[in-house]
Amino acid sequence: MPPKGKATITTAQKKASILRFFQEEHSVYNIKELEKLIPKKCSGVSSMLVKGLIQEMIEEDGIISVEKCGCTNVYWCFKNQIIMKTRQEMTSLKSRIEASEKEVLQSKSALSENEESLRTEVYQFDGITFSRKEQLETLENLTTQVKSLRTARDKMLETTWDKSQIESRTEALRPRLRKLEMVTDNLELLTGFLCRRFSVNLSDLKAELGIPEEFLEFSDLPSVN
């Protein structure tokens, strides 16, 4: 942590100080010279930070130039160099803006033409002329027919069963058939017991209880075994 009461110098401030150094001196330097001079001229920049900050100002910021001179790299940054770079960037941005504006105008024009063609009452497709109104009426009629056919199909599906549906329904009814047979057998046993216990005629008992003499036989029902 920095000493209490002393302001911290940011990286941006350090780079700005280095830039002023270059532009005021108006000279070229090798890295050893910069590591020696910059700490003296730029507050808060130690010799250990010089190389890294210079590299960032070359690669990321593009404001310091470097050139190989023999076995040594030399560094410089002149005021007119920054001005020229700014002008080049402004020219490039202006060209891009103009190109983008041109594309926007072309897109708007194409969109307007498409909208106009979409609104026309008569149009051509594959050399054939069509009326928009007639095509819309045809589409509406076909839509109505499709809905009607789907309704009829759904109704047919409800009343027309195929083999798999019949088999499925039969399997679902088997438990009910077993229960019905059990109830029938139990009634026969119960009425027989009552007749023996109270010496009552079976036909009279069934008539009194509303039980048919014989239960209906449904020979076409599936086997429940």
Distances, alpha carbon 20 to alpha carbons 12, 47, 52, 64, 79, in Å: 12, 17, 17, 11, 9
Task: Identify whether the C-beta of residue 210 lies closer than 8 Å to the C-beta of residue 203.
Answer: no
Only one residue has tokens 């007119």, namely: 80
Alpha-carbon radius of gyration of the chain: 50
The ranges assigned to domains in the chain are 11-77, 80-119, 121-157, 173-225
In this structure, which amino acid lies at residue 8?
T
Rounded to whole angstroms, the Cα distance separating 104 from 216 reads 86
Q: How far apart are CA 78 and CA 90, in angstroms?
A: 19
- Each residue's pLDDT, cut to its tens digit, for the chain (225 residues) gives 555 556 688 998 998 888 888 888 778 888 999 899 989 888 889 989 999 999 998 888 888 888 888 888 999 888 777 777 777 777 777 777 877 777 777 767 766 766 666 666 776 677 787 777 887 888 888 888 888 888 877 776 666 666 777 777 778 878 877 777 776 667 777 777 778 877 778 787 777 777 776 654 444 545 545
pTM (2 d.p.): 0.38
Of the candidate CATH numbers 3.40.640.10, 1.10.3720.10, 1.10.10.10, 3.40.50.300, the domain formed by 11-77 belongs to 1.10.10.10
Q: How many residues does the chain have?
A: 225
